[in-house]
Copies of this chain bind each other. A is one copy, B any other.
Amino acid sequence: MIEKVIFIGAGNLATQLALALHEQGIVIPQVFSRTEASALALADQVQAAAITDLSLVSPEADLYIISVKDDVLPEVLENLNLPPDRFLVHTAGSIPMDVLSGFSENFGVFYPLQTFSKNRRVNFSDIPICLEANHPANWVRLQRLAARISGSIHQVSSEERKSLHLAAVFVCNFVNHMYALGESILQDKKLDFDLLKPLIRETSEKINDLRPVDAQTGPAKRYDQSVIGKHLEMLNDRPELRKIYSFVTDSIFQFHQTNAK
């Protein structure tokens, strides 16, 4: 049974996951971050000790959740001096589980499929937790831990996780960028972004009932040239947005030629 978890990393994901586990009674003895302020900020919230030196990581935890930037992970693993049976997981979407195999006999992946910011609490209860482990017994240990915070637990291979992460970039990061561009268009005319919020909400809710291809509306779908032409003209002084507009519009039209019923 996993009761003591040490966090290696104190970024957005680590912060929200640590808070959720802490709330469910998991003990977090230590939080490591190279940046002292980050280590302290999270450690304070979960009654942990903040450390900035990997050699100080205690060997006494049941699980080590390594949640650092992808390009820092190899270096962290090299410098983590733990007994070889310590249970290590990472939380990265695009890194195979096996990068951990040279560093422990017990390892896996704990990947919550969600967008996290440090200062916005999220409710974990329906967040899909994608788990992978090097051994069925380790999978069960992770599954029991995940069940303390979420009702949506999934066995996901490294290959599948990569696709989930890629799709997540489209439906989250790219979507959020469209919000940012929409806001910037309104700012130019001093119009309030709040006017778009009911539309944003309905667009996100519509796909609970309709497939996205069937939920699509607007000028691109049928290539309504008179509207598209006006919009492109309005973007003449914003070449960056004009390119995105024209490119995504073409893609929608082609997608609907191929996929619409």
Contact = CB atoms under 8 A, between A and B. Distances in A.
Contacts of A69: 224
A56 interface: no
B191 A168 contact: no
B70 A224 contact: yes
Interface in A244-261: 244-245, 247-248, 251-252, 254-255, 259
Contacts of A221: 173
Given A113-B199, A171-B203, 10 more contacts: A113-B195, A114-B198, A115-B218, A167-B181, A167-B186, A169-B245, A171-B200, A172-B199, A173-B219, A173-B220
Interface residues of A, number: 92
A137 interface: no
A201 B204 contact: yes
Interface of A: 12, 69-71, 93-94, 113-117, 120, 122, 126-128, 152, 154, 159-160, 162-183, 185-186, 188-189, 191, 195-204, 206-221, 224-227, 230-231, 234-235, 240, 243-245, 247-248, 251-252, 254-255, 259
Contacts of A244: 174, 247-248, 251
Contacts of A203: 115, 171-172, 175-176, 204
Contacts of A164: 186, 191, 195-196
Contact of A252 (B173, B204, B235, B243): B173
B224 A177 contact: no
A148 to B, nearest CB: 17
Contacts of A210: 117, 120
Contacts of A207: 176, 179, 197, 200
Contacts of A209: 120
